[in-house]
């Protein structure tokens, strides 16, 4: 009965007390926002030291509790941020409070908080010796087996799961199998890949719409590639920060979905999936755009090219393709990666990227992936000491094509340090080439090249809307 009361409170919170349209938003508490940002930043540091982060987590939790006790948290964002802080606590009471805070966030209009409300409930139940009831928690054992147990699958229907942004049981089972396969992948020396510890992230939303004819910009050579019936994964590697690669990737997504919808996967933070889903599912108006630009995708201080104007234009293009029935989901797959006490290792991180990618996309259909050019390699970079397997190297070889996006020189936007950001010179080929796909069977790290056909141009970071424009 206690479990049932919790779920009923969560569901009620998702439908009651949502501010009506036109109601002025309650300002967020800037200190709570800063605490949340620090919590998330600590988990995206590739050299995370838990001896340092653990006490910091405790301090953030205590300060958040003080703000709660003082009544200083008012907005849906405040309670959403506080829920994440308590989710990173160490006791069942912390997880239960995180669930309560997430429920309040939903009641205050933060619709994207439904998944964290569900996940914290499941985590609380499992940490008090009871089975989870929604299916958000996965655990990989030392031998690579992945389980959701204990799990009472009959407690909630798939319809209730869907109302909370949780995938149905069939999709969960496919995710479990994907995680298990990724954990047991053999490396080049025949050994099994080391296990990845990935923080759970909100699943991507699936969209359905009638397929409508759409004009696509042609890419010579794409017809032959896309005609392969068994081809599931098309991975495009880019130098982040150009105007042309995201544009050409969008053109390829359009061509690939001419007769059947595809899934698009982007190397963006998986924790920002609700913001991506909300924008992709919107009509792209000023309000939807302003809300999307409040996401951490665009507000992070370090700009590596994935928060560019061109990347935003790509999201706009993908949103239009979704509306025309060409795209069923846009999946963010960069995980919150916790390397543990051994510290950051490139091979481990590539494995984590592959694990996240394979576990977050639907089990069937064609997937177009936009990632960094190192991640898109199938074999270890020549300069890597020691060698490691890049992300694309974990995808099934007989169902995957990896292409390196290349321009005829030019520039790209990047940050070379925390304070030095701006245009950088792009590699200049010996011979300028026209736009098109050229397959290369020479045994290199890619199966082919996506020639952009022009000198690339640096795409600056996307600017946020001013509040008055909202």
| Token pair listed for 83 | 């829920």
CA dist., res. 151 & res. 154, Å (int): 9
pLDDT for residue 356 is more than 60:
yes
DSSP code at position 186: B
- 134: nearest Cα among 107, 171, 94, 91: 171
CA dist., res. 195 & res. 181, Å (int): 11
pLDDT for residue 13 is more than 70:
no
Quick one: pLDDT at residue 45?
52
Question: What pairing do the DSSP bridges indicate for beta strands 411-415 and 400-406?
Answer: unpaired
CA atoms within 13 A on the CB side of 94: 16
Contact 361, 367 (CB under 8 A): yes
The terminus-to-terminus CA distance of the chain in angstroms comes to 44
Contact 232, 366 (CB under 8 A): yes
Quick one: pLDDT at residue 240?
93
The four Cα atoms 355, 358, 360, 366 give a dihedral, to 10 degrees, of 160
Partnered with residue 249 across adjacent β-strands are none
236-294 per-position pLDDT tens digit: 999 999 999 999 999 999 999 999 999 999 999 998 999 999 999 999 999 999 999 99
- What is the average per-residue pLDDT within 133-147? 76
How many Å is the Cα radius of gyration of the chain?
Answer: 22
Sole residue written with tokens 């929604």: 134
Q: How many Cβ atoms from other residues are within 10 Å of residue 305's Cβ? A: 25
Quick one: pLDDT at residue 196?
52
| Token pair listed for 64 | 């958040």
88-126 per-position pLDDT tens digit: 887 889 999 999 999 999 999 998 889 899 999 998 998
143-158 per-position pLDDT tens digit: 567 889 999 999 999 9
Quick one: pLDDT at residue 138?
83
The DSSP code sequence of 93-106 is HHHHHHHHHHHHHH
**Which of helix, strand or coil describes residue 451?**
strand
More confident residue, 192 or 230: 230
Q: In percent, how much of the chain has pLDDT > 70? A: 83
Quick one: pLDDT at residue 51?
65
pTM: 0.64
Contact 246, 313 (CB under 8 A): yes
DSSP code at position 392: G
Contact 403, 236 (CB under 8 A): yes
Contact 329, 287 (CB under 8 A): no
Greatest mean pLDDT range, 14-23, 153-162, 311-320, 411-420: 311-320
């Amino acid at each position: 009965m206690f479990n049932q009361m919790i779920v009923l409170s969560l569901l009620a919170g998702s439908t009651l007390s949502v501010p009506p349209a036109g109601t002025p938003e309650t300002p967020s508490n800037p200190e709570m926002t800063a605490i949340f940002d620090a919590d998330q930043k600590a988990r995206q540091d590739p050299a995370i030291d838990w001896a340092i982060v653990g006490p910091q987590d405790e301090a953030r939790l205590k300060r958040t509790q003080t703000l709660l006790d003082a009544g200083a948290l008012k907005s849906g964002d405040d309670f959403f941020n506080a829920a994440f802080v308590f989710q990173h606590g160490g006791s069942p009471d912390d997880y239960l409070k995180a669930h309560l805070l997430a429920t309040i966030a939903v009641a205050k209009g933060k619709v994207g908080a439904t998944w964290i409300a569900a996940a914290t409930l499941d985590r609380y139940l499992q940490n008090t010796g009871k089975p989870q009831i929604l299916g958000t928690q996965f655990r990989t054992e030392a031998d690579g087996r992945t389980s959701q147990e204990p799990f009472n699958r009959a407690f909630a229907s798939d319809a209730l799961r869907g109302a909370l942004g949780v995938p149905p049981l069939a999709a969960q089972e496919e995710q479990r199998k994907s995680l298990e396969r990724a954990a047991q992948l053999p490396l080049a020396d025949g050994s099994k890949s080391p296990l990845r510890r990935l923080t759970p992230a909100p699943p991507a939303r699936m969209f359905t719409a009638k397929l409508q004819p759409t004009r696509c910009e042609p890419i010579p050579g794409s017809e032959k590639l896309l005609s392969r019936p068994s081809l599931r994964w098309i991975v495009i590697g880019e130098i982040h920060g150009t105007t042309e690669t995201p544009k050409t990737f969008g053109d390829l997504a359009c061509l690939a979905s001419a007769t059947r919808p595809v899934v698009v996967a982007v190397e963006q933070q998986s924790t920002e999936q609700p913001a991506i889903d909300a924008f992709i599912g919107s009509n792209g108006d000023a309000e939807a755009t302003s809300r999307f630009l409040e996401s951490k995708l665009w507000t992070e201080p370090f700009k590596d090219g994935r928060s560019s104007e061109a990347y935003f234009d790509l999201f706009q293009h993908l949103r239009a393709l979704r509306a025309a029935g060409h795209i069923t989901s846009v999946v963010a797959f960069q995980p919150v990666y916790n390397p543990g006490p051994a510290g950051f290792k490139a091979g481990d991180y590539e494995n984590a990227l592959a694990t996240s990618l394979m576990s977050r996309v639907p089990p069937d259909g064609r997937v177009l992936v936009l990632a960094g050019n190192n991640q898109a390699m199938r074999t270890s970079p020549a300069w890597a000491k020691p060698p490691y397997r890049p992300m694309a190297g974990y995808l099934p070889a007989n169902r995957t094509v990896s292409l390196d996006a290349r321009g005829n020189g030019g520039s790209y936007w990047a940050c070379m340090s925390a304070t030095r950001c701006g245009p950088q010179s792009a590699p200049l080929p010996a011979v300028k080439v026209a736009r098109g796909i050229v397959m290369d069977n020479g045994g290199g790290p890619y199966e082919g090249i996506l020639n952009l056909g022009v000198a690339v141009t640096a795409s600056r970071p996307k600017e946020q809307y001013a509040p008055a424009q909202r």
